[in-house]
């Protein structure tokens, strides 16, 4: 399940202008700075396919990449970034919700959460939103290199317990670190297993 090829296709803020073919696609979303773009580079074994930054708010558009000429990987801007203006926040929310509600090709979203943090309302609300709109998603825990193995288990257990307060089932989830290259196969296997029609 290695990534043989990964190419940038296009960036835009209008879902109507996204690629029009029926290639299955997977979108990565989460709070600003959670590590979406870094994860994309890790998954694809490319150093700087997606642009990363220590400053939140780096990714501003819907970015399509074609992987193995088989599926699209989509890097999205982060939500919950306080320093953008109210108007640009509104605009942003609109194009992201348009994307999720209109993109027929979307097979699954991945909601990224920092493994160090307790479940945050903004993330739980976003998962709720996806659920209400019938959009399948998995949870990607990022930055696992920041915790010791037993702390990883505890944090994931706590997260799942919180989810079970509102969800009947735990969605598929993945423990990852982009800097230590953890979780690459798990995520890629999931993608490969879900995109064979
Ligand atoms: P926006 O595009 O701004 O929403 O951010 P993003 O979610 O794409 O995050 P990005 O990949 O740009 O990473 C944000 C910061 O977190 C950078 O400083 C990364 O180096 C760091 N980072 C990302 N992944 C990891 C990881 O697995 N481990 C560690 N230790 N740091 C990480
Ligand atoms: Mg980014």
For 70, 72, 95, the CA distances from 21, given in Å and listed in that order, are 11, 11, 20
With a cut of 50, which residues of the chain have pLDDT below it? none
Specify the pLDDT at position 78: 86
Ligand 1 pocket test, pick from 11, 34, 38, 40 with the greatest ligand atom count within 8 Å of Cβ, gives: 38
List residues near ligand 1 (CB under 6 A).
Answer: 32-38, 52-54, 56-59, 77-78, 142-143, 145-146, 177-179
Backbone angles phi, psi at 60, to 5 degrees: -115, -10
pTM above 0.90, yes or no: yes
Specify the pLDDT at position 2: 85
Residues 6+ apart with CB under 8 A from 66: 5, 6, 7, 9, 23, 72, 73
The runs of H, that is alpha helices, within 12-148 are 36-44, 86-102, 121-132
Specify the pLDDT at position 84: 64
The pLDDT tens digits of the residues spanning 115-169 come to 999 999 999 999 999 999 999 999 999 999 999 999 999 999 999 999 999 999 9
Q: Which of 195, 197, 190, 187 has its CA nearest to residue 41? A: 187
Ligand 1 pocket test, pick from 178, 180, 181, 183 with the greatest ligand atom count within 8 Å of Cβ, gives: 178
Specify the pLDDT at position 53: 84
Residue 114 DSSP SS3: strand
Nearest ligand for residue 112 CA = 1
Q: Which atom of ligand 1 is nearest to the CA of 38?
A: 11
Show the domains of the chain with their CATH numbers: 6-195 (3.40.50.300)
What tokens appear for 172 in the block? Answer: 């598929």
Q: What is the ipTM of this complex?
A: 0.98
Q: Which of 59, 63, 66 has its CA nearest to residue 3? A: 66
């Amino acid at each position: 399940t290695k990534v043989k090829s990964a190419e940038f296709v296009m960036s835009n803020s209008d879902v109507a202008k996204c690629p029009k073919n029926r290639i299955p696609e997977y979108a990565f979303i989460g709070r600003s700075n959670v590590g979406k773009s870094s994860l994309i580079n890790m998954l694809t074994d490319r150093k700087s396919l997606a642009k990363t930054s220590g400053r939140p708010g780096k990714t501003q558009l819907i970015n399509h990449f074609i992987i193995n000429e088989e599926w699209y990987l989509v890097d999205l801007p982060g939500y919950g970034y306080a320093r953008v203006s109210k108007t640009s926040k509104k605009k942003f929310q609109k194009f992201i919700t348009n994307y999720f509600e209109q993109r027929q090709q979307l097979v699954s979203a991945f909601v990224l959460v920092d493994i160090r943090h307790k479940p945050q309302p903004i993330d739980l609300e976003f998962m709720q939103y996806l659920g209400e709109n019938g959009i399948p998603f998995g949870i990607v825990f990022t930055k696992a290199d920041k915790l010791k193995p037993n702390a990883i288990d505890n944090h994931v257990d706590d997260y799942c317990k919180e989810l079970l307060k509102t969800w009947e089932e735990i969605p598929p989830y993945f423990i990852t670190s982009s800097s230590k290259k953890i979780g690459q196969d798990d995520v890629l296997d999931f993608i490969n297993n879900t995109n064979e029609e």
